[in-house]
């Protein structure tokens, strides 16, 4: 276990755990950014609209992995979902996340 794993947890293991339970990948970039390239099968819910989609996301009854361009917006979206009782994790940038899936 490396120092970063110790400090921040092993993201790869958490992603695999979420995937094994049917996690939904949500990309919180803008529609234009998403259309420029995204993880196949992911859902696009821009950060600005995440609050209005909480009840819809709860109905999925699945863990959620959030991503964006760098991990900043997905970090904000993760906090919103967690504060609403949704099991969520910040997957970081969509391109690096796609390599871990």
Domain spanning 3-39+47-100: which CATH class is it, in words? alpha beta
Residue-level pLDDT, tens digit, the chain, 101 residues: 344 455 555 788 899 999 999 999 999 999 999 999 999 999 999 999 999 999 999 999 999 999 999 999 999 999 999 999 999 999 999 999 999 88
Residue 64 burial class via C-beta count within 10 angstroms: exposed 0-12, middle 13-18, buried 19 and up = buried
CA 65 – CA 87 distance, rounded (Å) = 9
Domain residue ranges of the chain, discontinuous segments joined by +: 3-39+47-100
């Amino acid at each position: 276990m490396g120092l970063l794993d110790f400090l921040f947890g092993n993201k790869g293991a958490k992603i695999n755990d979420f995937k094994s339970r049917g996690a939904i990948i949500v990309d919180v970039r803008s529609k234009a950014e998403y259309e420029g390239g995204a993880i196949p099968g992911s859902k696009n819910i821009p950060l600005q609209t995440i609050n209005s989609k909480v009840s819809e996301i709860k109905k999925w009854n699945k863990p959620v992995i959030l991503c964006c361009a760098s991990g900043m917006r997905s970090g904000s979206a993760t906090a919103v979902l967690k504060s609403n009782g949704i099991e969520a994790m910040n997957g970081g940038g969509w391109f690096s996340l796609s390599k871990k899936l």
